[in-house]
């Protein structure tokens, strides 16, 4: 496990300005001919050795300027091809043979169902041919694909199609030319037989762009929403960022076998079908939301990622943090801003905070990497986006856009660093951002402590803020924007609002001329990715909950009340719901607010969020506290919950934003109500009458969650109804892993040999194994240790098949830091066992060593 360090970065000695690829596809013997123009950096004349990256393929021939090299002129090893005594400028032609069918790691060229497809980011291109597989080597690609015409009528690659012809033996050939320089991680190839949805978009300068969406045969009816999302993304990027698409064609291909969500390859995105295919019957409102967000994300990469790319992989957040910020803004504009923002924060706090406190904690710009695929993290993506958001807060929308314009003007066509980005933002706004840039190198979640005193005489409020780095970390004070709102305690009116810049370790901010002591909402909009330590009275929280302008603060106030109360249940098993909380909960239920927002307000902080909030957590005790709290809330408000549940049912209609809000609220109520076995009948009728997946799956989920008498029945009905729908069957597998039933381990075991389960399909694996580890805390944390053992067993199997997927699933075993010693030692035991695996992958190897260090 050899790490790479950011500090060791060196420019490439050679560049490859032009590549011509000819790929003759075959299941087991695909021949790749790559003809490259290679140029040596003129100030590195002494360096005549060319080291190319390559992995897991057969080298057939090498030619330099048309002359065949003999075996003493080069060396091949596991990871590279070294060519000695190269001239300064030459044409290098390499032929390699690869086996797509055996490629279960799903990196490079592989088969998904009947189609060939590719995935090159981060370092997959080296599994196709020997190359300088690093993002600062950018080339113009011409790609020719040859394959059987009947089986693979569509042959796709990046850019524009320049040639198409039939060959003998039933084969055909298609050539593509991409006029934009790109790093090899953006290369893509697809070959298959698909249904095609076509549309077009006229850019603001009047150019026509053909839009093509390729889906598995028979799935065309599920492609329309994604197409609309693409057009909305293109229009939004023009309106908000003034960025226009550049090629004449934009293609998206949906495949079932995919390691992550989607990939932004230039002009030819490849998507996990989960983020493309949807219709009302088979997809939930969340699925629709995510499809639009991921389509947007990949589209926005065309400028932030593709036109301006990363110099090296340590800079990944340059494109990912920025692009996540862009997709979050897009979603916020397309939906309810507050609701979107709150959901962003929930993900960050439940999962990124844990990562930042765990053994793999790293800055948004990592400094040390063993396996790059391990760094496509919540930290690089979500915290990266929060850092961009802080910049947006500090510069304002106009200043931020001025900075983006400058960044693109300076760096279009280049591979650059996070510092280049910050410099462009700073120069465009005449600001010194050197302190702000510390966010790129700090690790851990900083804490902000607040303390307020009001002086009646001088009518002034003094707010003392201080900051401390995340646990065990050290760094100089950061620049932290702290949003605030001062509320009139009596009327709830907003007296002042704005953003404070906390730049010292401790600072006091004075507010004058406040006729009465205000209630303070701090960190409005979740203005910084920090933990806020600001104890507030229930009365203050209730005031914020009902009156703050800022939606995040209203929601956060209710969550604070709940968290505090859950903590009491956790500490004292005899604790019972205080009247004040009953009242607060009733007030939320009665409030005249958007249904989607109300749904969020009555959704309790989950197991993961609470683990962040408490110390040395005993999992079963926390689960019991959550359960009791929920039960007490239900008992105190059964009537209200039931009536809202029924009202929502009556008012539901169609696919509008309004309707999805009502569904969210209805299902949030259902979550409580199903805690009473008498509600079983209602659950069954919701299941049977459901007109869409949001309602149907919520009913099944509730039945599984409480193991209701109806469960087995509707569970089988569901499997029967949807057996032919891959994506819905993923949902079914996910539910099986969550059943609250003492037989869960037998259930899991038999699901592993279910005819529809396959360890080679990442979606299936995530549905079954991931859902158990992440969404069934009761049995995952079974005191016997069985849950950990089961997960470890699956990871050992998966590591041989697909290390990237194995590595994602190991999170539950390595992030034990929030739990009590007993849990931690049980986890370590499993990790120590895994560490002994023969030929362990770098992916899980890196994480296990970090966790056991
Ligand atoms: N850039 C890809 C992620 C690649 C992950 C490689 N392990 C998708 C995205 O972030 O848009
Ligand atoms: Zn991305």
pLDDT in tens, 218-240: 999 999 999 999 999 999 999 99
Strands 494-502, 531-533: pairing kind: unpaired
CATH 1.25.50.10 in the chain: give the residue spans. Answer: 536-673, 723-853
Q: What is the mean pLDDT of residues 19-31?
A: 98
pLDDT number for residue 546: 95
Residue 373 Cα: closest atom of ligand 1: 7
Q: How far, in Å, is the centroid of ligand 1 from the Cα of 317? A: 11
For ligand 2, the distance from its centroid to the CA atom of residue 298, given in whole angstroms, is 6
Ligand with the closest atom to the CA of 326: 2
Which of helix, strand or coil describes residue 87?
coil
Ligand 1: centre distance to CA 301 (Å):
10
Q: Is the pLDDT of residue 653 over 80?
A: no
pLDDT at 696: 98
Could you say which of 121, 298, 386, 556 is catalytic?
Answer: 298
740-749 average pLDDT score: 97
What is the pLDDT, as a whole number, of residue 251?
99
| Phi, psi torsion values for 453, nearest 5 degrees | -130, 140
What is the Å distance from ligand 2's center to 233 Cα? 15
Mean pLDDT across 441-467: 98
374 CA → ligand 2 middle, Å:
14
Whose alpha carbon is nearest atom 7 of ligand 1? 373
For residue 480, list its beta bridge partners: 502
Alpha helical stretches, state H, 737-835: 744-752, 762-765, 771-775, 777-780, 786-801, 803-809, 811-814, 821-835
Label residue 168 by pLDDT band (50, 70, 90).
very high
269, 320, 375, best to mutate for ligand 1 pocket (most atoms within 8 Å of CB) = 320
Asked if residue 473 has pLDDT above 90, the reply is no
Q: In angstroms, rounded to a whole number, what is the distance separating the alpha carbons of residues 234 and 461?
A: 47
Alpha carbon 180 to chain centroid, angstroms: 27
Please name which ligand lies nearest the alpha carbon of 298.
Answer: 1
**Closest ligand 1 atom to the C-alpha of 804?**
7
Report the range of poorest mean pLDDT among 470-479, 529-538, 698-707. 470-479
**652: pLDDT confidence band, cut at 50, 70 and 90?**
confident
The stretch 705-729 carries a mean pLDDT of 98
pTM recorded for the entire structure:
0.99
**Which pLDDT score, from 0 to 100, does residue 19 have?**
98
Residue 181 CB contacts under 8 Å (≥ 6 apart), including other chains:
17, 138, 139, 140, 413
> In this predicted model, what pLDDT tens digit does every residue of 583-623 receive, in sequence order?
999 999 999 999 999 999 999 999 999 999 999 999 999 99
Q: Which ligand has its closest atom nearest to the C-alpha of 269?
A: 1
Q: Which of 327, 376, 762 to mutate to test the pocket of ligand 1 (most atoms within 8 A of CB)?
A: 376
Burial environment of residue 61 by CB neighbours within 10 A (0 to 12, 13 to 18, 19 or more): exposed
Whether 219 contacts 727, CB under 8 Å:
no
Looking only at the bridges linking them, the beta strands covering 80-83 and 50-53 are antiparallel
Tell the burial category of 501 from Cβ atoms under 10 Å away from its Cβ (0-12, 13-18, 19+). middle
* Out of 29-33, 279-283, 445-449, 653-657, least confident range: 653-657
Q: How far is CA 57 from CA 79, 116, 545, 804, in A?
A: 10, 17, 60, 19
Residue ID of nearest Cα to ligand 1 atom 8: 263
Residue among 106, 183, 263 to mutate when testing ligand 1 (max atoms within 8 A of CB): 263
122 preceded by a cis bond (ω within 30 of 0): yes
Which CATH code, of 3.40.50.970, 1.25.50.10, 3.30.980.10, 2.30.40.10, is assigned to 723-853? 1.25.50.10
User: What integer is the mean pLDDT of 266-279?
Assistant: 98
User: In this predicted structure, what is the pLDDT of residue 472?
Assistant: 81
Contact 772, 737 (CB under 8 A): yes
ipTM: 0.99
Tokens encoding 431: 């600001």
Phi, psi for residue 171 in degrees, rounded to 5: -95, 165
Ligand minimally distant from the alpha carbon of residue 263 = 1
Largest CA distance in the chain: 95
- Residue 186 and residue 306 in contact, taking contact as beta carbons nearer than 8 Å: yes
d(CA 197, CA 805): 30
Q: Please check whether residue 729 is in contact with residue 718, taking contact to mean a CB–CB distance below 8 angstroms.
A: no
Report the sign of the C-alpha dihedral through residues 344, 345, 346, 347, in that order: positive
- Encode pLDDT of 356-396 as tens digits: 999 999 999 999 999 999 999 999 999 999 999 999 999 99
pLDDT at 1: 86
Per CATH, is 447-535 categorized as 2.60.40.1840?
A: yes
Tokens, residue 531: 């933990």
Closest atom, ligand 1, to C-alpha of 122: 6
Mean pLDDT of 766-782: 98
Residue nearest to atom 3 of ligand 1 (CA): 263
pLDDT of residue 655: 72
CA of 262 relative to ligand 1 center, distance in Å: 7
Task: Give ∠ CA 750-747-721 in degrees, rounded to 5.
Answer: 80
Start-to-end CA distance of the chain, whole Å, equals: 14
> Which contiguous run of DSSP H or E holds residue 546?
helix 538-547
Tell me the best of 121, 182, 252 to mutate to test the pocket of ligand 1, counting ligand atoms within 8 Å of each CB and taking the most. 121
Q: Please report, rounded to a whole number, the percentage of residues in the chain having pLDDT higher than 70.
A: 100
The tokens for 261 are 């969500």
Average of per-residue pLDDT across 190-207: 98
Residue 384: enclosing H or E segment and its boundaries? Answer: helix 384-411
Residue ranges around ligand 1 (CB below 6 Å): 121-122, 260, 262-264, 297-298, 301, 320, 373, 376
Q: For atom 1 of ligand 1, which residue has the closest CA? A: 263
- The question of whether 397 is a catalytic residue gets the answer no
Closest-CA residue, ligand 1 atom 9, reads: 263
Report which of 344, 350, 343, 297 is spatially closest to residue 319, judged by C-alpha positions.
Answer: 297
Residue with tokens 């040395």: 616
Q: Where in the chain is the domain with CATH 2.60.40.1730?
A: 1-192
CATH number given to 536-673: 1.25.50.10
372 CA: nearest ligand 1 atom:
7
Determine the pLDDT at residue 456. Answer: 97
Give the pair of three-digit tokens for residue 825.
């030692």
Q: Which pLDDT score, from 0 to 100, does residue 651 have?
A: 85
The residue behind tokens 């009275």 is 537
User: How high is the mean pLDDT of the chain?
Assistant: 98
C-alpha distance from residue 702 to each of 453, 586, 710, 742 (Å): 47, 22, 10, 17
- Determine which residue's CA is closest to atom 4 belonging to ligand 1: 121
Which pairing describes strands 415-416 and 519-522: parallel, antiparallel, or unpaired? unpaired
Q: Assign 806 a pLDDT band (cuts: 50, 70, 90).
A: very high
**pLDDT score recorded for residue 34:** 99
Mean pLDDT of the 84-96 span: 97
Give the C-alpha distances (Å, rounded to integers) separating 2 from 51, 81, 373.
18, 19, 14
Distance 107 CA to ligand 1 centre (A): 12
| pLDDT over 90 at 22, yes or no | yes
Q: 603-638 burial by CB neighbour count: b if 16+ within 10 A, else e?
A: bbbebbbbbbbbeebbbeebbebbebbbebbbebbb
CATH, domain 1-192, list 2.60.40.1730, 3.30.1540.10, 3.40.50.360, 1.10.3720.10: 2.60.40.1730
Taking residues 450-464, report their average pLDDT: 98
């Amino acid at each position: 496990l050899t790490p790479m360090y950011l500090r060791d970065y060196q420019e490439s000695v050679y560049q490859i300005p032009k590549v011509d690829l000819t790929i003759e596809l075959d299941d087991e013997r695909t021949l790749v001919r790559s003809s490259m123009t290679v140029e040596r950096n003129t100030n590195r004349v002494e360096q005549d050795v060319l080291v190319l990256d390559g992995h897991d393929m057969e080298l057939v021939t090498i030619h330099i300027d048309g002359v065949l090299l003999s075996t003493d002129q080069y060396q091949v090893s596991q990871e590279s091809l070294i060519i000695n005594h190269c001239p300064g400028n030459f044409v290098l032609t390499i032929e390699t043979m690869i086996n797509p069918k055996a490629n279960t790691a799903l990196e490079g060229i592989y088969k998904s169902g009947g189609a060939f497809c590719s995935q090159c980011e981060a370092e997959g291109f080296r599994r196709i041919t020997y190359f300088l597989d690093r993002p600062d080597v950018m080339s113009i690609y011409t790609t020719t694909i040859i394959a059987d015409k009947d089986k693979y009528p569509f042959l796709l690659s990046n850019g524009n199609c320049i040639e198409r012809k039939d060959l003998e033996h039933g084969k055909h050939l298609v050539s593509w030319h991409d006029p934009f320089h790109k790093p090899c991680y953006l290369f893509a190839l697809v070959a298959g037989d698909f249904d095609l949805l076509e549309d077009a978009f006229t850019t603001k300068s009047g150019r026509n762009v053909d839009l093509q969406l390729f889906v598995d045969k028979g799935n065309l009816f599920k492609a329309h929403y994604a197409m609309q999302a693409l057009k909305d993304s293109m229009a939004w990027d023009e309106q908000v960022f003034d960025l226009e698409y550049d090629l004449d064609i934009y293609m998206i291909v949906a495949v079932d076998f995919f390691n992550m969500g989607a990939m932004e390859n230039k002009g030819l995105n490849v998507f996990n079908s989960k983020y493309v295919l949807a219709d009302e019957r088979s997809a939930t409102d969340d699925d629709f939301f995510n499809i639009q967000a991921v389509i947007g994300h990949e589209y926005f990469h065309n400028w932030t990622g593709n036109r301006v790319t990363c110099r090296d992989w340590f800079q990944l957040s340059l494109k990912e943090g920025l692009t996540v910020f862009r997709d979050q803004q897009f979603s916020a504009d397309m939906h309810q801003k507050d609701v979107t923002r709150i959901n962003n924060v929930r993900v960050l706090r439940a999962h990124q905070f844990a990562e930042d406190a765990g053994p793999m904690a790293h800055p948004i710009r990592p400094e040390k990497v063993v396996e790059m695929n391990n760094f496509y993290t919540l930290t690089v993506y979500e915290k990266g986006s929060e850092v961009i958001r802080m910049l947006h807060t500090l510069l304002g929308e106009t200043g931020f856009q001025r900075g983006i314009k400058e960044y693109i003007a300076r760096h279009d066509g280049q591979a650059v660093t996070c510092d280049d980005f910050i410099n462009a933002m700073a120069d465009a706004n005449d600001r010194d951002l050197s302190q702000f840039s510390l966010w790129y190198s700090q690790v851990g979640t900083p804490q902000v402590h607040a303390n307020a005193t009001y002086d009646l005489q001088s009518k002034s409020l003094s707010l003392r803020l201080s900051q401390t780095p995340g646990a065990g970390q050290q760094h100089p004070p950061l620049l932290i924007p702290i949003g605030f709102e001062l509320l009139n305690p009596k009327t709830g009116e907003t007296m002042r609002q704005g953003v404070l810049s906390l730049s010292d370790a401790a600072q006091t901010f004075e507010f004058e001329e406040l006729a009465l002591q205000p209630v303070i909402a701090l960190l409005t909009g979740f203005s910084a990715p920090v933990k806020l330590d600001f104890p507030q009275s229930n009365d203050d929280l209730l005031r914020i909950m009902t009156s703050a302008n800022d939606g995040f603060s209203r929601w956060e106030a209710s969550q604070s009340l709940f968290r505090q109360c859950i903590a009491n249940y956790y500490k004292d098993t005899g604790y019972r719901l205080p009247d004040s909380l009953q009242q607060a909960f009733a007030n939320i239920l009665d409030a005249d607010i958007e249904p989607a927002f109300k749904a969020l307000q009555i959704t309790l902080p989950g197991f993961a969020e609470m683990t962040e909030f408490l110390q040395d957590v005993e999992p079963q005790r926390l689960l019991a506290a959550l359960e009791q709290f929920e039960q007490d809330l239900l008992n105190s408000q059964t009537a209200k919950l039931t009536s809202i549940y029924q009202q929502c049912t009556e008012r539901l209609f169609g696919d509008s934003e309004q309707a999805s809000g009502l569904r969210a609220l209805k299902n949030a109520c259902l979550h409580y109500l199903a805690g009473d076995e008498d509600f079983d009948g209602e659950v069954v009728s919701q299941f049977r009458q459901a007109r869409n997946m949001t309602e149907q799956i919520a009913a099944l989920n509730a039945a599984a969650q409480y193991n209701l008498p109806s469960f087995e029945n509707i569970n089988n009905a569901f499997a029967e109804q949807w057996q032919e729908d891959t994506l819905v069957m993923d949902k079914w597998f996910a539910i099986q892993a969550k059943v609250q039933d003492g037989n869960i381990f037998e259930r899991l075991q038999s699901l592993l040999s279910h005819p529809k389960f396959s360890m080679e399909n990442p979606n299936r694996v995530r549905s079954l194994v991931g859902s158990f580890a992440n969404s069934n805390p009761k049995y995952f944390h079974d005191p016997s240790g069985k849950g950990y053992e089961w997960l470890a067993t699956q990871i050992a199997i998966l590591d041989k098949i697909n290390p990237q997927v194995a590595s994602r699933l190991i999170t539950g075993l390595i992030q034990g830091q929030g739990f009590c010693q007993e849990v931690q030692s049980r986890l370590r035991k499993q990790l120590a066992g895994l560490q002994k695996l023969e030929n362990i992958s770098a992916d899980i190897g890196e994480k296990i060593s970090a966790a056991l260090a």
